[in-house]
A and B are shown apart, each in its own frame.
Chain A
Amino acid sequence: MRITTIADQDLGRARRCLALALLVFWVPLMASDYLTEGNDPGRTGWMKDERVFTLANVKDMKLLWKVKLDSRPREMHNLFSPLVAGRVTTARGPREVAIVAGVSDDLFGIDVVSGDLLWKRRYESTFAPSANTVYHTLCLGGQTAMPAMEQVSPGKYTIYAIAWDGRLHQINAADGSDVAPPEKFLPPNGKPYALNVVNGAVYTATAQNCGGVPNAMYSYHLATRKASTFHPAGGGMWGRRGAAVSPEGVVYMVTGDAAFSPQTRSLGNAIVGARLDAVQQLQLVDYFAPRNANWMRARDLDLNVTPMAFDYRGRKFLVGTSKECRVWLLDREALGGEDHRTTLDTTPLLCNDDQAFDAKGVWGAMAAWQDGRGEQWVLVPFWGPVSRTFHAPIEYGRPKMGGVAAYKLEETSPGQWRLNPAWLSRDMDMAEEVVVANGVVFAYGSGEDTTQTLPDLAWNEPDGPWVGGGLNPYSERRIPNSRHATLYALDGQTGQELWSSGDQITSWSHWSGLTVANGRAYLGTFDGMLYSFGVRAAQAGK
C-alpha cells in the first residue's frame, strides 16, 4: 500500500504542472508543419508528426477562435485551407503561423494561438480584366491555387503563390514581404490548382481552359527560372490538391473530359505522370487510364481527384479515384502495366450508383496513412449515397448525402494487393477532404449545393412549373441552396464519430479544404470566416 504524503502530492502537482508547461511551451518547439495541400508532395493528407491530437482528447475539441478575413468571394470561392508553419521567427518572436489565401488575390498571416492577423498582403497585379471579362463558377478569376510553403532555414519559411495575373510570388511567411520579385509563370486569368514545391520546382495544373490557359501540368524551376508545361491533350486537370509528386520526382495528375486514345496521343480521362528532364522541361513518363475511360467520358465521370503517391512495404503505390466512385490501386513502377490500363486492384463502386456527373462521386481529396501496427489505410470521402453494393465490416448507417469509406491495403497473397473495405462513416453532407492526424481522421461535409442541373418543378410547386435537366452550375442558384459545413473527427481504426462541430460553422465551403496541425483543425468558409477548432492542450497554449 502506497502512502501518499503531502510531499508526494506536491511532487505530483509539480509533475502535472511540468507536463502542462511542456505542452504549452514545448509543443511550439516540437510543432509540425503543414506546408502544402495534403501535407506532403504525395498528397496523402497524413500528418505523420501530429502529437497533440489523440483519440482520447479529440472528443474535447472546442472552437478556439474564428476570424473573419477581409477576403472578397468570387463566385462560390473565398478562402483556401491554411498552410501552417510551426515555428516562424517574426518580429513578435517565434510564432506558429497559418497562411491563408483568399481568392481575390489576398494572402493572410495569422497567429494560430490567438487568431490575430499578423499581416495581410494583396498582390499587385499586372492583369486588368477588361470590361467585357466576366466570370462564373467554373472560371472565376482571381487566385485559384492554394499556395505552398518551404522552410528555407530554421524559423524562416517562403510561401509560393500564383496570383490572378499568373505570376509566381515568393513571400516571407513572417511578414508577407517579397523574398524575390514576382516571376512570370502562367498566362493570366487561368485556373491553376494547389501548388506543390519539390526539389526546387513549383508544380501546378490547370483546368477548364479558363482565360485560354490550356489544361496542362506546369512547372517552375526556381533556380533556372524556367517554366515548363506538359499538355496531355485531355480535359481539365482539376484534382483538388493539385499535382502529386512521388519520391522519385514524378508529377502525377488526372485528366478530365477527352477521349483516351494513346494512338492519337490523347490522354483524356487518365492519370498522367511527367518529370522534369535535364533542361527542366516536363516530359511524359507514364500514364494510366481505367478500362472504362471512354464510358466515363460518355457520362462525364471525369478523373477529378488528385492521386496519392506513397510507399508501403517496399512497393511504390499510386491511388486514384474519380466521380465514377471506384478506387484504383496502381504500381508507380509500371503505371497501369504494359497496356497502361491494368490496376493492381480496382474496387467496386463505393458510391454514385446512378453514375451521375454532378453531386455524386468523389470530388474531394483522399488520405493514406499507416497505423501503429504498420497497417496501411486509404480513406475516400464521397458525395451522395453510398453504393448499394458497398459494404464494410463496420458501418455507421448508410450515408445518403456523403461520407468517408476506409479501406485497408492488404497483400492477400504474394504480389496480390487489395483494397479491402474496413469501415464506413456516418452520413456527411458532401464529404470532402480527409486529413489523418495521430490516428484521428478529420473530415468535413462542405454543405454546399453541388448540383449542376436544374430540377423539374411540378406545375403546382413553388416557382413551378419548370422542365429541368439543363446545365446550371452557377453561383446565383447554388449559393442560396447551400447549407453549412460540419467538421468531424473519427476514430481511424473504426470510423466511429468522436467529435463533430455540429452547427457551430454557419456557412458552407466550396473547393476550400481542411488543415490539421498541432492540435488544431482549420476550415475556411464562403463567408470569409476561418474557424480553428482544437483540443485543450492547444487551448491552454492560447
Chain B
Amino acid sequence: MRLHTTSIAAVTTLVTAGIVLGQGRGNPTEWPTAYGDAQHTSWIRSDVSISPETMSQPGFELQWTTTLVSPARRGVSLSPGVVTSGVNIFTPLSTIAAPSNQIFAIDNDTGNLFWTRRFDGTLAAGTAACPGGISGALTRMVSLTTPAPGPGRGGGRGRGAYSSAVGEPGAGVPIPSRGGGAGRGTPAPATTPPPTPAPAGGGRATVAPPASTIPPGQSRPSPFPTNAAAQGGGGGLFRPSGVVYAVSADGMFRTLGLVSGKDVRRPAPFLPPGARFSDLIAVNDMVYTATTHGCGGAANGIWAIDASSDTKTVVSWKTNGGDPLGSVAFATNGTAIVAIGPRDLTSGAGPGDVTSGGYANAIVALDPKTLTVTDWFTQPGVELVAPPVVFQEAGKDIVAVTTRDGRILLLDAGSLGGTNHDSPLFASASLTGGAATFAAESPAMWQERVAVPPAAATAPATGAPVAPSAPLAPDGARWLLIPVAGPLPANLGAAGNGAVSTGAILGVRIAHQDKFSVQPAWISRNIAAPLTPIVVNGVAFAASGPSNAPAGLYALDGATGKTLWQSENTIVSALSGRSLWAGSGHVFVGTRDGTVYAFGFAMERH
C-alpha cells in the first residue's frame, strides 16, 4: 500500500511540477509520420517560433549538421525523419530510417546521436527498381483527426514576481503572496509586500492526481502501455516516451522504443524480404505500407499489420494493376485512401483502368482492417502521378489528387466518384497548359487562420523569435500547394515570384460555397525538382531535389509564395530521396552523403 500512496504523493507533487515543466519549454511540434498526419496534409498547424512574420526577420539559419554513417543505396541514404517531442521528458528526437538497414535517432536540439540501431542480415546488391534495404520512412501511431490549431506559445502559469518579506520577531518567516503581477520595465529592487501569515500547518500543495498517472515501475498495472500512452497521449511527465514502427530489410515488422531503439515487442514477419515498400503510417493500432515494382516477390499492393496484437496478423491487397503511389492516407473515419498509378506500360493497359480485379490510375478506398476495396474512382484520360491529400470541408472528407495533365480532382471520400465511380466533386481545367506536369509528389494542404482578439502578451521564454501567440481560428483561405516539374503557363493568372524553368510550387486557393472552385494564386520562385512542401504555421518549406545538384531549402510565404528565406549554398550534397521533415521548431534535410541539416532559429543554446 505504501508504494501506492507514495506514488500518489509523488504524482501530486510532480504533476504540479509538470504543469509548470510543460509550459513555455522548448518547442513541442511533432512530425509523427511522413506527410505529417493521417490525411497527408504536410502541415504543422502552429509553431512557437516559425511564422511568416518571424521568417521575414533574420535569425532562421543552419543550427547543426550531423553526418551519419549510412551508405547510400541507389541514391538514397536517409529517409524522411519522424519527430517526437519529450523523449526522456525533455528531448525532441528525430528517428530516421536508412536503406543500409539502420535506424538513427538524433537529438533535434543538438544534433547528437541519441541511439543507432543496425538490424542483422546481409543486404543484397539491389537494382535501381529494387534497391533492397529499408525503403520506407518510420512512423509513430497517428490520430485520424488532426488537432485544432494551437495558440502558439502561451505564457503558462507564472510563478509571480520576485519579492521579499520579513516576519515579526519570533514569528518565523512570512510566506509572500505568489500571485504577483508581472510588472514590466526595468528590473527593480524587490519591494516589500505586506507580510502574510505563515500557513498554520504548512500543508502540501494539493492537486488531485489523475488516476491514470501512477508512475510506471511503481505499481506496473501493465507491462506495456497502450498505444495512446506510448504515443504520448497523456500522462504528463510519467508517460512513456513511446515507440516508433519500422520494417527492416528482411521484411520484419519492428516496434522500437524511442528511448533506446530496442525491440520492445517481438519482431514479426510482415513483408517479403527485399520488398520495396513505401513510408509507413500507423492508425488505430494498424501499420500500413505499400509495395511496388514487384520487388522481393511482393505484389504491388497495400499491406497492414496489427501492431497491437500478439499474433501480428498481416493483411494485404494486390492492385493487380499499377503501383500504389506513395503511401496510404486516411479519411477521418479510418478508411484507407490509396492512389494507384498506371499499369506498367509493357502490360498493355493504359490510364484510367479498372478491370476486373485490377486497378490502375485509380483512387481506391480500403477497409482499414481487411484491406478489401470499399470504393474507387477512375476516369478515362486520368493519369495519376502523386499520392492524394485529404481534408475536411462542410463535414465531409475530401480527397484532393493531381493528374499528370495538370488537373486537380476533388473527390468525396464517402463516395469516390459517385455511383459510377467516375465523377469527381470537382475537376479543374489543366493548370499546366501542357508546358509542364505536376511533379510526382503529393500536394500539401493548409488553411489560413483568422486571428481572434489576442490574449495578454507574455514574455518570450526562449531567445528565438516568437510567433504570434493570439488564439487563431482555422477558418481562413484553404490552400493546396502543388509541386510542379517545370514552367507554368503565363496566362495561369497566378502571381509570379520570378522565372520558373525546372520546377516550382504552385499555390492554389480552394474555395467552397456550395461548389468547389480553385484559383491558382501564386507561383514560387524556381525550385528544381521540388518535393512536397511542408507548411509550418503558414510558412511553406520547399526542398529542391535534383539528383545531380546540391539540394536547396526555401521558405515561402504560404499565402503569397514570396521567398522568405533560402539556404543558399549551405547544403553541399544532393537530397536523399524525399528526406525532408520538420518539428520542434526545425526543418530538416537529409542528403545523399548521410548528412542531416537542421535549420531553425537559434535557441541560445550556448
A residues whose Cβ falls under 8 Å from a Cβ of B: 127, 133-139, 166, 183-190, 208-214, 218, 220, 224-235, 257-259, 261-268, 272, 274, 279-284, 291-295, 297-300, 340, 353-358, 453-461, 463-472, 474, 476-477
Contact = CB atoms under 8 A, between A and B. Distances in A.
A298 B159 CA distance: 16
Contacts of A467: 224-225, 230, 240-243, 257, 259, 264
A186 B173 contact: yes
A357 B241 CA distance: 15
A282 B164 CA distance: 6
A291 B264 CA distance: 40
Interface in B68-108: 86-91, 107
Nearest to B115: A456
Interface in B479-535: none
A474 B217 contact: yes
Interface stretch (B339-347, B406-414, B455-463): B455-463
Nearest to A456: B257
A324 to B, nearest CB: 10
B182 A300 contact: no
Nearest to B458: A264
A390 to B, nearest CB: 15
Nearest to B173: A227
Given A281-B164, A300-B21, A457-B264, A294 B604 contact: yes
Given A184-B172, A459-B265, A231 B178 contact: yes
23 contacts: A137-B10, A139-B204, A188-B202, A189-B202, A212-B203, A227-B172, A263-B185, A264-B158, A264-B182, A264-B459, A265-B180, A282-B164, A283-B164, A295-B109, A297-B25, A298-B25, A298-B26, A299-B26, A354-B114, A356-B91, A456-B258, A466-B216, A467-B242
A257 B21 contact: yes
Binding site secondary structure of chain A: loop
B160 A472 contact: no
Given A212-B199, A474-B215, A300 B90 contact: yes
A73 to B, nearest CB: 14
A457 B165 CA distance: 50
B6 A136 contact: yes
Interface string B161-181: 111111111111111101010
Contact of B192 (A133, A281, A472): A281
Contacts of B473: none
B167 A266 contact: no
A391 to B, nearest CB: 18
B10 A474 contact: yes
Nearest to B26: A298
B140 interface: no
B266 interface: yes
A420 to B, nearest CB: 19
Chain B interface, DSSP helix/strand/loop, else mixed: loop
A182 to B, nearest CB: 11
B586 to A, nearest CB: 13
Contacts of B7: 136, 474
Given A213-B175, A259-B461, A134 B6 contact: yes
A430 to B, nearest CB: 18
Given A262-B187, A282-B164, A466-B223, A225 B90 contact: no
Contacts of A463: 223
A188 B161 CA distance: 24
Contacts of A355: 91, 107, 109-110, 112
Nearest to B4: A134
Given A227-B172, A470-B216, 17 more contacts: A127-B202, A185-B172, A225-B170, A227-B171, A233-B161, A233-B162, A258-B159, A264-B459, A265-B182, A265-B188, A283-B164, A298-B109, A353-B110, A456-B260, A458-B263, A469-B242, A476-B218
B173 A299 contact: no
B173 A476 contact: no
Nearest to B167: A227
B599 to A, nearest CB: 17
Interface string B194-216: 00001101111100000000011
Contact of B176 (A139, A231, A297): A231
